[in-house]
Amino acid sequence: MGLNSTLSFPQNALLPLSLSRLIRLCTKTNSISKGKAIHAQLITSVSKPDVQTINHLLTMYLKLGHTDYAQKLFEQMPERNLITWTTLISSYSQMGLSEMALNCLRSMVLDDGISPNNYTYVGAISACANMRAMRTGKEIHGKLYRTEIVNSFVNNCLVNFYGKCGLLKSARLVFDGILEPNTISWVSLIACHCQCGENDEGMRIFLRSLRMGVKVNEFSYGSVLGACAALEMLEVGMQLQCLAVKCGIVIDQYVVTGLVNFYAKCGELELACKAFKETDEPHLTAWTALVGGCVQLGKDRQAIDLFRQLLSTGLKPSEQTLASVLGAFANEKEVIGGTQLHGLIIKLGFDAFTFVCNAVLDFYAKSGHLEDSLKTFREMDARDIVSWNALIAGHVNSDQYEEAIRFIQNMSSEGFHPNLYTYSSLLGMCGDLPATEWGKQTHCCVIKPGFDSNVVVGSALVDMYAKCGRLDDAKKVFNILPNKNLVSWNSMIAGYAQHGLWMEALEIYDIMLKNGVKPNDITFIGVLSSCGHVGHLEEGMHHFNSMVEDFKIIPKTDHIACMVSLFARKGQMRGAYDFISRFSGQPDKVVWRSLLSGCITNKDLELGKYAAEKILSIDPDDTSAYITLSNIYADSKMWNETSQMRKLMKEKALKKEMGYSWIELHNTIYLFSAGHDMLVLRNGVVEVLSGLTAQLFDAGYVPDALVLLVDGY
């Protein structure tokens, strides 16, 4: 009888064996409707079906995802045997219903008095591994040894269980007890070490398996490739890829995703894209890995374009995809696009995931929308330390230091202890203020848990001390760091450059290159700034050309602004303008402001006027540009134009923001601003300032009329 024929047959016409085959065929062909029809015929049949037939029905419902039908059928079974229970336990475990699987095991043993077999134990141990149920898993392991029915399948499952629970020593003991480990045994041991971050040991076990004659398969290949990605071992990973090709490993979706992730984490985005194109229809995990790689490597625009391509294919993005691409929207300051993405997250129900909400929170914080960031934080069902860190970092980056400190206090009161990234934000705040004493106290706090040896906190310490002018302390921390990353090197270079120590900055840069560290765009801002402090134009041009030609870094506006400042130091204002003109993109305010500053210093009024007008064309409400342009007109005796600038400012109700400066003394921040002398009068600061001003004039100082701001603005 064919499956496509009408499912009507006389009662008792089919033998149990025939029914079993027919049900298995329904399972194989995903024909749930025909399977239900067979079930209906069995219900109306005079004779009751045997337990074997019902077991096949149970398997069909479970494999086709109809757990409610399976559960109802199971409850109505007059007789259950070991196969019935094992089928249910194994299926629940595979579907991630681990708690239900373990409950079934208890009922089987305690209620029905049936002893488990190897297959039952494999399903139960897998359930323990999925939910990290260490105690239950150990109890099952003890039971196994007492019954002495352990075989290779069970041992492999035990290795996997202990590995997923992070008990690597126990996993190794089980593995060493296997007389003849098979491929699955080796893959399980390799995978559990890599998953626990023991990538070096995972690599060593893999090499040992090769020496033992174990063939590479897609699972061992994927695990070791992940280890190479974590360790950024590009050459080893490429050799592994060659070995995989020689062994005839099929380039399936699992392998493609591993390759994309490996190349992206090693900084080879072109090779990651090439691996991505190895398959005609990339899996969602491959899309997610490539989008994440682009964000990680600073290719945010490319990540956003990839995400749009993903949507055009009709694939539904996962929660990991959306969390990754939100970082790109945040870095690109694409508020509208990111807000729309937030709406999509809510629509798909992914806002139930804490890590997705953390990405949304971080997006709003980085975009400067702190109110939306705080609203997201308050609406979260569950918060973790990442949620607090994102909120704190957002307020620190927006100079909302008092709020950031309040959130740190609230975080502690809710039972969350500061971690590496909390201290990193706190140190960043101390460096920005700068508040040296607070920074030193924070340094003491990170020493106690041993965080100072971590590269994230270590780099933040270097940056804090450098910004506070404590370069000797910055260098001490830098020198004792066991591992230095690019941020560590950049912090030292920027610190020396900021304080005019150009020789030291360039020396650190040379040492960095000799250590094989590849510079990025931030590195060259520090290098070019160090050259700018002393006006080394030729040296600056050399490094700028090296950045473009040797390291293939596309110049950003900050790099162009640094070079403009260098030309200005040499008095070559026309050279600065020609340098700006070389680039096809539209320069922003930073570049034109550097040119304007150089023009004021070098008395190039005509070019200064042009630069100020360019700033106003970009931002018509830029108060400082109006004031500077008004001063230029006044210095050129262009009174009508000067009057027009003042009139425009009054019409726009523009007023120059009050400038502030501050100093930290005995753990107290003292704020200084024009018109607030009374606040600091008791400290005698006014008398000191007056004395210094008198000495300036006695020494022959004459204020430059061009740089004097218009009174009242």
Domain residue ranges of the chain, discontinuous segments joined by + = 418-483
For residue 1, pLDDT beyond 70 = no
**Mean pLDDT across 581-601:** 86
The pLDDT value given to residue 658: 65
- pLDDT given at position 709: 42
User: What is the per-residue pLDDT for 652?
Assistant: 66
For the beta carbon of residue 545, count every other beta carbon within 10 angstroms. Answer: 10
The residue-averaged pLDDT of 463-490 equals 92
The torsion defined by the Cα of 546, 548, 553 and 556, in degrees rounded to 10, comes to 110
Helix (H) or strand (E) segment spanning residue 286: helix 284-296
Does residue 8 have a pLDDT over 70?
A: no
Q: How many helices (H) and strands (E) does the chain have?
A: 39, 2
One-letter amino acid of 127: A
> Using one digit for the tens of pLDDT, what is the confidence trace for 612-658?
888 888 888 788 777 877 877 777 777 887 787 777 777 666 666 66
Least confident of 68-77, 370-379, 639-648: 639-648
Average pLDDT over residues 285-304: 91
Q: What is the pLDDT of residue 6?
A: 41
Residue 4 has pLDDT above 50, yes or no: no
CB 70 within 8 A of CB 36: no
pLDDT tier for residue 693 given thresholds of 50, 70 and 90: confident
pLDDT of residue 66: 85
E-only strand ranges, 230-370: none
Give CA–CA dist 339/343, Å, rounded. Answer: 6
| Dihedral angle sign, alpha carbons of residues 295, 296, 299, 302 | negative
Q: Region 37-44: what's the mean pLDDT?
A: 80
pLDDT for 525 equals 94
pLDDT band at 10 (very low <50, low <70, confident <90, very high): very low
With contact defined as beta carbons under 8 Å apart, do 227 and 255 qualify?
A: no
Q: What are phi and psi of 619, to 5 degrees?
A: -135, 95
- What average pLDDT does the structure give for the chain? 85
Spatial CA neighbour of 476 closest among 494, 498, 452: 452
In angstroms, the first-to-last Cα distance of the chain is: 95
